[in-house]
Structure 1
Amino acid sequence: MQFPRTACLGAGVIGASWAALFLASGRSVAIFDPAPGAERAARDYITRAWPALTRMGLTERGTPDALSFHDTAEAAVREADFIQESVPERLALKHALYAEIEPALASGAIVASSTSGLTLGQMQAGWSDPAPFVLGHPFNPPHLVPLVEVMGNARTDAGVVEAATDFYESIGKVTVRLEKEVPGHVANRLQAAIWREAIHLAAEGVASVGDIDKAMWAGPGLRWAAMGPTACFSMGAGPGGLQAFCAHLGDQFNAWCDDLGDARLTPETTAMLVAGAEEAARGESHAEMTARRDEMIVALQKALAPHRR
C-alpha cells in the first residue's frame, strides 16, 4: 500500500472527512487539532460518515479504530507518509504550522494543503524548502465528492505531484492537474461564477432563491453530474458537435454573457439570500439537509460509476 500512515492537520469538516476516507482505505490516521472538543467531534463525524463510505464499497480494507490524536502537529506527522493539512484559511497560521512540522517530516513524506483560497506560492513562503509540499484541494465533503485539484511548481520536488496524484486516485479520487496559479483554483471559480449570477437573478427579482436553486439541480446540474459544460454543449446541436453549436448559438451566448450580473455579498444581499434559503429549506435543519445531501451524493456516485470512462 502506498503511504500506509497518514496524518490530518486540522479536524474540522474538511479534515475529519479526509480522515474518514483515509481510514476507509485501510490506512492509519494521526490527527492534530488544538480546538476544544476536536477529538470528540472528529470521532463523531467519522462514525456518521462510515455507513455512506460502506455503501460506496470503500471500507472493505479499513477500520475507524486506526485513529490516533496528538497534542502537537510535530507528533502527528513524525511517522506519517502523507499529510493532509486542512487548518483555517489564515496564511500566518499555515506558515507557523509548516515551520513546526518541516523538521519532523519523515524522508519521502508528502504534505498537501486542502486550501480553497490561498495559492501554492503564498503557502510555500512558510517553508524553508517546500520540495515535499503540494496543493491538494478537495470538494466538500472529501469522503464523498471525488474531485481533488493537485498542483506543484518549480519549487516542488520531481515526482511529488505524481505521487500525490497516484495516492489520491488509489483511494477513489478524481484528480485535476492545475498548471497555473489562480485564486480559487478551477472548481471554486466555476461555482463562484454560477453563484454570482444566481445572486444577481434573485436580487433582480427574476426568481426566488429556492427556484433558482431548483433550476440548477433539475436542469444543468443533472447534466453536469454526467459530463462537463463543454462536453454537454458539444451535444447540443446534434451530430455537428461543438462547432455547430457555436455557429448556431454563438450570438445568443455572447448576448447572455453581456447581460450577466456583477453581484457582491453586501449585508443587504446576504440578508436576502439567508431569508430566501430559509424559506426554501421549509424547516429542514442543517443536520437533516446535510444528511439528505450526502445520501443523494452516494446515490449519484453509485448510479454513475458503471458509466464513467
Structure 2
Amino acid sequence: MQKGTAAIIGGGVIGGGWAARFVLMGWDVRVFDPDPEAQRKIIEVLANARRSLPGLSDVALPPEGTLRFHDTMSAAVDGADWIQESVPERLALKHKVYQTLQEHCAEGAIIGSSTSGFKPSELQDCATRPAQIIVTHPFNPVYLLPLVELVPTDKNPPELIQRAKDILTGIGMYPLHVRAEIDAHIADRFLEAVWREALWLIKDGIATTTEIDNAIRYGFGLRWAQMGLFETYRIAGGEAGMRHFIEQFGPCLSWPWTKLMDVPELTDDLIDAVAGQSDAQSGMYSIRELERTRDTNLVTILRGLKAQDWGAGKLLNAQDARVAGVPALPDDLTRPIVTVERAVPLDWTDYNGHMNEARYLQAFGDATDRMMLLVGCDADYIATGGSYFTVETHIRHLDEVHAGAVIRVETQVLLGEGKKMHLFHRMYQGDRELATGEHMLVHVSLETRRACDPAPHVAGTLARVASAHTALPRPEGAGKAIGVKG
C-alpha cells in the first residue's frame, strides 16, 4: 500500500475524520488548527475511529501512522504528499490559506479541499499554482464512509488526478470523479432536495423531525444504502425494468405536490420548531454517544453488505485484498502459521460486552479457510471439483476479548496426509491466549460429495507443512473433549 505524509488544515469534524482515516491507514499526519481545543477534539474522533474502522476489515490494518499537531501551517505542510483543507466555507479565507500553503508546500503535493459549497475553479482563482488544487469532498464520518467527490478543472493535469485517485483508493475510499463543475457537486444536491422538502413538511405541520427520520431510516434509506437510486427503481419496474418504471411513474413528476423549487423562510418559529423537535428526539444523548451509536450502526450495515460483496461492501473487500496482498506460505515453516490477524468488529460482541462464542468459531473458520488457501485449495482449485469439508470441531474458551481488540490466530498442522487435514488453532491478543480451536477436515469430491484424495500439488504442500510442524510441541488441549469435573 502507498503511504506518505498528510497535512490536515482545519481540524473540525471533517478535518478530524480525515486525520483519523489517514492515521489508521498507515499515513503520518500533521495537523494545523488555531482552535485551542482542536487537539482534544481530534484525539476523541481518532478514539471513535479506532473503535470502529478496523472492524470493517477482515485483515490487519497497516501499523498506525504518527499524529502530530503544529502551531503553523508552514510546519504542518513541510514535506507533505497530500494536504487536505477543511477550513470554514468562506472563499476569501480559503484563498488566504492556499496562498500560505503554496508558499511552503512541495510543488508536487496535492491540495484537496473538503468544500461542499465551492467549485474548484473558484478555489483555484488567484492561486500561485492552480493545477495543484482540487476538490475532494468527503462525507461524515470520513473514517467510515468511503465516498469522496473528486472534482478537478482543466487546469489539473491528468497525472495529478490519477495520483489523487490512487491515494484515495489506497486509504479505502471511493473517489467519484465529477467531470464537470457544478454547484454542490453531486451527492449534496440530493441531500439539499430532501432537506428542503423536510423543512416544508415541518413548517406546514405535516410531520415532525422524528417522523421524517423514521420515514428514511425504516424505508428507502435502507434501499439506498445498498443499491442507490436507479438500481432500486429498476427493481420497482418489475420484469419490464427501468423503461416500464419511468412510463408508469414518470407522469407523477409533473404533479404539483413538490416544493423542491421553493425554500421555506427560516423564520425564528421554524428554527424553534426544528430545534425543539430535534432536542425532544435526541437531546438525551451526548454528541459522542450519538457518534458511537452511528458508527456501530454503520459498521453493522457495511459488514452486512461486505458479506454479500455488494455496494460499499464490495469496496471494503477490495481494500482488504489490497492490504493483505497475495497469499503465500511463510519462508519459515518451523513455527505455527499466522492465519488470521484482524480487529474484533463492533457487531461481534454480545450482551456480556465481549466476543460472542459463535464468532470464535467464525475466526477459527477463517483461519481454516486461510490454511486451505495457503496449501493450494483456492477458488480455482475448488472450481475443478475438489475441496475440504470440516467434520469435527472442538473449541476451548480460555479468556474474553472485546470489540476493537486485535486478535491473531496461529495455526499448527497436526496431520496432513491422505484425505485428512488436522489443524490446531490458537487465538491471541498480544501474548494473551484467548481460545483454541481443533478442526478435522476431509478432502471430498464436490461431484460425488464423498471423500477422495486431493490433487498432488495440494497434498504435497500440505504434507510439507505438516512435516515441518512435527518438530513443534504438541499443543495443550489437542485431542481433548469437554472436561467434566466431579
In which range does the TM-score fall when normalised by the shorter chain? over 0.9
1:38 offset after TM fit, Å?
1.6
Once the two structures are superposed, residues 4-49 of structure 1 have per-residue CA deviations (whole angstroms, 9 ceiling, x without a partner) of: 1111111111111111100111110011111112223222321232
1:3 offset after TM fit, Å?
4.7
Give yes or no for the alignment of 1:63 onto 2:64: yes
SS of the aligned residue for 1:94 comes to helix
1:103 offset after TM fit, Å?
2.5
Q: How does 1:1-309 map to 2 (within 5 A)?
A: 1-57=1-57, 60-63=61-64, 66-255=66-255, 258-261=256-259, 262-264=262-264, 265-281=266-282, 283-306=284-307, 307-308=309-310
Residue type of the alignment partner of 1:14: I
- Alpha carbons of structure 1 residues 107 and 59: separation in structure 2 relative to 1, 3 Å: farther
Residue type of the alignment partner of 1:298: V
1:107 offset after TM fit, Å?
4.1
SS of the aligned residue for 2:30 comes to strand
Alignment length (residue pairs): 306
Tell me, in whole angstroms, the C-alpha distance in 1 between the residues paired with 2:195 and 2:37.
33
Tell me, in whole angstroms, the C-alpha distance in 2 between the residues paired with 1:158 and 1:245.
38
Residue type of the alignment partner of 2:241: G
Tell me, in whole angstroms, the C-alpha distance in 2 between the residues paired with 1:27 and 1:59.
15
1:72 offset after TM fit, Å?
1.1
1:292 offset after TM fit, Å?
0.9
Percent identity of paired positions between Structure 1 and Structure 2 = 35
**Are the aligned partners of 1:114 and 1:137 in contact in 2 as well (CA < 8 Å)?**
yes
SS of the aligned residue for 1:182 comes to coil
- Alpha carbons of structure 1 residues 219 and 91: separation in structure 2 relative to 1, 3 Å: same
Residue type of the alignment partner of 1:26: G
Once the two structures are superposed, residues 128-169 of structure 1 have per-residue CA deviations (whole angstroms, 9 ceiling, x without a partner) of: 121111110000110011110001111112311121111111
Tell me, in whole angstroms, the C-alpha distance in 1 between the residues paired with 2:172 and 2:44.
23
Tell me, in whole angstroms, the C-alpha distance in 2 between the residues paired with 1:102 and 1:282.
43
SS of the aligned residue for 2:131 comes to coil
The structure in which a higher percent of residues are helix is 1
- Alpha carbons of structure 1 residues 93 and 27: separation in structure 2 relative to 1, 3 Å: same
- Alpha carbons of structure 1 residues 41 and 126: separation in structure 2 relative to 1, 3 Å: farther
- Alpha carbons of structure 1 residues 282 and 2: separation in structure 2 relative to 1, 3 Å: closer
**Are the aligned partners of 2:153 and 2:181 in contact in 1 as well (CA < 8 Å)?**
no
Tell me, in whole angstroms, the C-alpha distance in 2 between the residues paired with 1:284 and 1:72.
36
Tell me, in whole angstroms, the C-alpha distance in 1 between the residues paired with 2:291 and 2:69.
26
**What stretches of structure 1 of length at least 5 have no aligned partner?**
none
**Are the aligned partners of 1:96 and 1:126 in contact in 2 as well (CA < 8 Å)?**
no
- Which of 230-239 and 34-43 deviates more? 34-43
Which structure carries more relative contact order (alpha carbon 8 Å, separation 6+)? 1
- Which of 237-246 and 155-164 deviates more? 155-164
Tell me, in whole angstroms, the C-alpha distance in 1 between the residues paired with 2:287 and 2:105.
38
The structure in which a higher percent of residues are strand is 2
| TM-score of the two chains, using structure 1 as the length reference | 0.93
Residue type of the alignment partner of 1:289: L
- Alpha carbons of structure 1 residues 59 and 260: separation in structure 2 relative to 1, 3 Å: farther
How large is the RMSD of aligned CA atoms in angstroms?
Answer: 1.7
**Are the aligned partners of 2:82 and 2:109 in contact in 1 as well (CA < 8 Å)?**
yes
SS of the aligned residue for 1:20 comes to helix
Tell me, in whole angstroms, the C-alpha distance in 1 between the residues paired with 2:216 and 2:300.
18
Residue type of the alignment partner of 1:124: Q
**Are the aligned partners of 2:10 and 2:32 in contact in 1 as well (CA < 8 Å)?**
yes
1:283 offset after TM fit, Å?
2.2
- Alpha carbons of structure 1 residues 215 and 74: separation in structure 2 relative to 1, 3 Å: same
| TM-score of the two chains, using structure 2 as the length reference | 0.60
Q: Name the larger-Rg structure.
A: 2
Tell me, in whole angstroms, the C-alpha distance in 1 between the residues paired with 2:286 and 2:263.
28
**Are the aligned partners of 1:237 and 1:245 in contact in 2 as well (CA < 8 Å)?**
yes
Tell me, in whole angstroms, the C-alpha distance in 1 between the residues paired with 2:277 and 2:136.
33
Once the two structures are superposed, residues 197-227 of structure 1 have per-residue CA deviations (whole angstroms, 9 ceiling, x without a partner) of: 1111222222222111100111110000011
Residue type of the alignment partner of 2:22: F
**Are the aligned partners of 2:114 and 2:135 in contact in 1 as well (CA < 8 Å)?**
yes
- Alpha carbons of structure 1 residues 12 and 184: separation in structure 2 relative to 1, 3 Å: same
SS of the aligned residue for 2:226 comes to coil
